[in-house]
Amino acid sequence: MTLHGEALSREWNRSLFRSSFVVKTPDFRSLCKAEKPVFSKKTGFFSRVSDTECFAKRTRCLGSKFDILGDTMTQRYGNIIGWGKYTPKRVVTNHELAQRLDTSDEWIVARTGIRERRIAAADETVSSMAVAAAREALTVAGLRARDLGLIIVATSSPDHLTPPVSSQVQHALGAKDIGAFTLVAACPGFVYSLVTAQQFIASGACDNVLVIGVELISRFIDWDDRTTSVLFGDGAGAVIVQASDKPCGVLAHVLGSDGSGAEHLILPAGGSAIPASHEALVDGLNYLRMNGNEVFKFATRVLGKALQQAIAKAGLTADDIDLFIPHQANARIIESAARQAGLPHEKVFVNIDRYGNTSAASIPIALSEAMEQGRAKAGDTLAFVAFGAGLTWAAAVVKLGERLAPARVSQGLIQLPNWATRLRDTAISTMDRIRALDWVRRVRRPHKHERHDLYAR
Ligand code: ACO
């Protein structure tokens, strides 16, 4: 039996008088060993101590971390039990870009570490890539879509401003009627989402949460602008976070935001401030604009610090981190963050050379590869860090639980697409295209008798 809200508070008060009451946190153990129960007029509850601070601490924990299961109170952790990725087939190398832009492979490799990136085909969308990554994560976890309790999609390049892409993903997966939302926090969006998923698990609201980081930035890039077009790539990564009573998942996190630097990385038009218009297109306001130097300075200032803070908050040191999986934005930025946090080169996972900066998809794609390659293993402690538009940043220390699929199982799933997978993907993308064409036809020329249908959906 899992209790929430008032029922939980009642049970907590009753349980204070039971000898079989079990608590697992040191704070609580000392709280329960304290004086005999006293009635607090202020709170209206019995408690072991009259001190309001202890009571506040107790209720905070009650609200966020515990379930009372009969007589036993258990802390819930979010274990990553499944992972998957999708990267488009089309590879665009630096040499290819150098043929149409005033740039070179040497410049791009030296300044960023990028050698090639994946670019989505015309019929691919954020939702189709997210669904492909999510299906893989579900298979690795051994779950079906209907086992999920919540879907969080981190992206800044959704299919449409509205409806939220998370609902399209939920529908395409067949995860009927469950909650789904899109989280927009630029490149750190995946870390923000993972931390959010952890809260849903810890509170007892959900047992299985699907977290996806996905981006299709190539559609928002001016391919004649060498300062941005060489940096980005498309792709998706996903994880399944499952409730566990063993300490694992996000051990500590740091989330940050500084809106004063908003203009340094901005897609000016398409939102409500500058709606899409002919003028906006003519002025190129539909493309991502970036002040690379400022973003670089910001990233090297905050990333190492955030990483150190998260490691310290987890009560660990750099020696305890088995693998550092950073946002793959720039090899020099990654190096600087690792150096500041005291993490040696061998502990840093880098795949920027093959994918470029895939923004919110960057960490889950890298995590997926690290799992497949056996570089991240059961029981390992990982550190994530990311920065991006906003300006925003996030760091997390994550412990992998014991329940992990063997590396070769996920590798097999990822590397051996069979005829059935291809047929399924073709069918899905054809259906998506038909649906999209139908919408365009209906939105552009809604007949009187069709209008009701259109808005009713
Ligand atoms: N090829 C060749 N030359 C170039 C290119 C290119 N692709 N791009 C810029 N240059 C030129 C510049 O015009 C400049 O020339 P100049 O000296 O004649 O004026 C010269 O190279 C040096 O330019 P800088 O901008 O000073 O180069 P820098 O070493 O700072 O590298 C870079 C630029 C790679 C963009 C770097 O600033 C960077 O990585 N910044 C962070 C960007 C980032 O990670 N953004 C993503 C944020 S995440 C998100 O939310 C999407």
Mean pLDDT across the chain: 82
302 C-beta closer than 6 A to ligand 1: no
Residue nearest to atom 1 of ligand 1 (CA): 103
Question: How many Å lie between the centroid of ligand 1 and the Cα of residue 94?
Answer: 15
Question: How many Å lie between the centroid of ligand 1 and the Cα of residue 367?
Answer: 27
For 443, counting Cβ atoms within 10 Å of its Cβ (0-12 exposed, 13-18 middle, 19+ buried), the class is exposed
119 C-beta closer than 6 A to ligand 1: no
Measured distance CA(235)–CA(118) in Å, rounded: 7
Q: What is the DSSP letter of 37?
A: P
394 C-beta closer than 6 A to ligand 1: no
Strand partners for 22: 72
Q: Which of 100, 184, 217, 227 to mutate to test the pocket of ligand 1 (most atoms within 8 A of CB)?
A: 227
Question: How many Å lie between the centroid of ligand 1 and the Cα of residue 230?
Answer: 9
Measured distance CA(156)–CA(386) in Å, rounded: 14
Measured distance CA(364)–CA(131) in Å, rounded: 14
Residue nearest to atom 33 of ligand 1 (CA): 292
Amino acid at 408: R
187 C-beta closer than 6 A to ligand 1: yes
Residues 54, 201 contacting (CB under 8 angstroms): no
Ligand 1: atom nearest CA of 217 is 51
Measured distance CA(218)–CA(236) in Å, rounded: 13
Question: How many Å lie between the centroid of ligand 1 and the Cα of residue 301?
Answer: 17
Ligand 1: atom nearest CA of 392 is 50
329 C-beta closer than 6 A to ligand 1: yes
> Which is nearest to 79 in space by CA: 380, 324, 361, 308?
380
Give me 305's structure tokens: 């610090």
pLDDT of residue 423: 76
Question: How many Å lie between the centroid of ligand 1 and the Cα of residue 228?
Answer: 8
Measured distance CA(362)–CA(360) in Å, rounded: 6
| 235: CB partners within 8 A, 6+ apart | 85, 86, 87, 88, 118, 129, 214, 215, 355, 358, 361, 365
| 132: CB partners within 8 A, 6+ apart | 84, 86, 236, 425
Where in the sequence numbering do the catalytic residues fall?
Answer: 187, 327, 357
393 C-beta closer than 6 A to ligand 1: no
> Which is nearest to 386 in space by CA: 312, 310, 322?
310
Measured distance CA(335)–CA(343) in Å, rounded: 9
CA 13 to chain centre: 37
pLDDT of residue 7: 52
Residue 311's CB is within 10 A of a number of other CB atoms, namely 26
Give me 113's structure tokens: 């570490």
Residues 238, 210 contacting (CB under 8 angstroms): yes
pLDDT in tens, the chain (457 residues): 444 444 554 554 444 433 333 333 334 444 444 434 444 445 444 444 333 333 334 444 444 444 433 334 478 999 999 999 999 999 999 999 999 999 999 999 999 999 999 999 999 999 999 999 999 999 999 999 999 999 999 999 999 999 999 999 999 999 999 999 999 999 999 999 999 999 999 999 999 999 999 999 999 999 999 999 999 999 999 999 999 999 999 999 999 999 999 999 999 999 999 999 999 999 999 999 999 999 999 999 999 999 999 999 999 999 999 999 999 999 999 999 999 999 999 999 999 999 999 999 999 999 999 999 999 999 999 999 999 999 999 999 999 998 655 444 444 444 446 677 667 666 765 765 666 566 545 544 444 444 333 333 2
Amino acid at 365: I
Residue nearest to atom 47 of ligand 1 (CA): 388
> Which is nearest to 267 in space by CA: 193, 192, 157?
157
Q: 260-272 as b/e, with b when 16 or more CB fall inside 10 Å?
A: ebeebbebbbeee
Give me 233's structure tokens: 């790539």
Q: Which of 216, 293, 391 to mutate to test the pocket of ligand 1 (most atoms within 8 A of CB)?
A: 293
Give me 117's structure tokens: 């990136």
pLDDT of residue 310: 97
Amino acid at 38: V
Residue 224's CB is within 10 A of a number of other CB atoms, namely 11
* Domains of the chain with CATH codes: 5-74+417-442 (no CATH), 77-403 (3.40.47.10)
Q: Which of 295, 298, 300 to mutate to test the pocket of ligand 1 (most atoms within 8 A of CB)?
A: 295
Question: How many Å lie between the centroid of ligand 1 and the Cα of residue 323?
Answer: 28
107 C-beta closer than 6 A to ligand 1: yes
Residue nearest to atom 32 of ligand 1 (CA): 292
Question: How many Å lie between the centroid of ligand 1 and the Cα of residue 218?
Answer: 17
Torsions phi, psi for 309 (to 5 deg): -60, -45
Q: What percent of the chain has pLDDT over 90?
A: 71
> Which is nearest to 79 in space by CA: 403, 311, 370?
403
Residue nearest to atom 37 of ligand 1 (CA): 292
Strand partners for 152: 181, 211
Q: Are strands 150-154 and 179-183 parallel, antiparallel or unpaired?
A: parallel
